[in-house]
């Protein structure tokens, strides 16, 4: 009986370094990192007719944690937000790098940085950690939503160093299933309110009886106001009506 490919890779030692290709042309360490992302809490982002938003499952189970400070959606700049799935400490390093880049752009050019420039910088850093020895890949996917010239934009960088521009996307737990539902139900003319309702409906369907709206947080940016608005816990119910 032939061994599965992943077992063969482990037996031959191809997964012991992030810089070694297996015979089937893959880097097993990157596949393991992607599995780590799949274990992270879920986020859904959408580019809508009137702006862009990210809604995230904070997944806080410990009652001793102060939930107010356990945020899942981070402010990069006044026109840009981000969420992550995977190893939280890895995401913190990348988020802080993105925030610094946004600040430097403000100081140097007196203008907001373009969302794609930020995600490209993070993707380039991730790629470096797949090419050089002595370090493991970043075990995190970063979703960035922002406004450029009054147009909403949504990007996601993967563990491989690739990044893509999306209309709607999901990262974290059940991302494959959530994407399938987004492909069927997402429309580009959705408003933020209708988009959030769609995202909540998907989360309810995926979580079933475990769905608790109090564990979610929402951040959105209207393309005209270009100001981050945050909504948490039960207040999100206003968008579900």
Q: Is residue 53 a contact partner of residue 196, using CB atoms and an 8 Å limit?
A: yes
Q: Give the sheet arrangement for strand 140-148, strand by strand.
A: 73-77, 80-86, 140-148, 151-157, 163-166
**Cα-Cα-Cα-Cα dihedral sign, residues 11, 15, 19, 25:** positive
pLDDT digits (tens, 9 = 90+) for 123-178: 999 999 988 777 889 999 999 999 999 999 999 999 999 999 999 999 999 999 99
Q: Give the sheet arrangement for strand 43-48, strand by strand.
A: 168-171, 43-48, 51-57, 216-222, 228-232
Q: Is residue 117 a contact partner of residue 102, using CB atoms and an 8 Å limit?
A: no
| pLDDT for residue 192 | 97
Percent of the chain having pLDDT more than 70? 94
Average pLDDT over residues 14-29: 78
| pLDDT for residue 88 | 93
Q: Is the pTM higher than 0.75?
A: yes
CA distance 172 to 40: 5
pLDDT digits (tens, 9 = 90+) for 185-218: 999 999 999 999 999 999 999 999 889 888 899 9
User: All domains of the chain, ordered by start, with CATH?
Assistant: 26-56+65-239 (3.60.20.10)
Give CA 186 to chain center in angstroms. Answer: 18
- How many C-beta atoms lie closer than 10 Å to residue 140's C-beta? 27
């Amino acid at each position: 009986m032939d061994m599965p490919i992943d077992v063969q890779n482990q037996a031959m030692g191809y997964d012991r370094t992030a810089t070694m290709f297996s015979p089937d042309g893959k880097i097993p360490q990157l596949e393991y990192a992607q599995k780590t992302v799949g274990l992270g809490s879920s986020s859904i982002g959408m580019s809508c007719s009137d702006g862009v938003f990210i809604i995230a499952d904070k997944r806080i189970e410990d009652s001793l944690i102060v939930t107010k400070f356990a945020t899942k959606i981070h402010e990069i700049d006044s026109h840009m937000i981000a969420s992550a799935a995977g190893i939280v400490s890895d995401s913190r390093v990348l988020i802080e790098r993105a925030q610094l880049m946004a600040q430097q752009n403000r100081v140097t050019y007196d203008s907001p940085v373009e969302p794609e420039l930020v995600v490209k910088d993070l993707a380039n850093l991730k790629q470096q950690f797949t090419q050089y020895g002595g370090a493991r890949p970043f075990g995190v996917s970063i979703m960035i939503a922002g406004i450029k010239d009054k147009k909403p934009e949504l990007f996601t960088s993967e563990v491989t160093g690739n990044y893509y521009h999306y209309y709607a996307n999901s990262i974290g737990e059940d991302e494959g299933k959530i994407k399938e539902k987004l492909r069927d139900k997402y429309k580009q003319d959705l408003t933020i309110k209708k988009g959030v309702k769609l995202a909540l409906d998907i989360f309810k369907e995926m979580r079933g009886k475990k769905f608790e709206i109090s564990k979610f947080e929402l951040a959105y940016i209207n393309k005209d106001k270009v100001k981050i608005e945050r909504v948490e816990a039960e207040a999100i119910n206003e968008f579900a009506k």
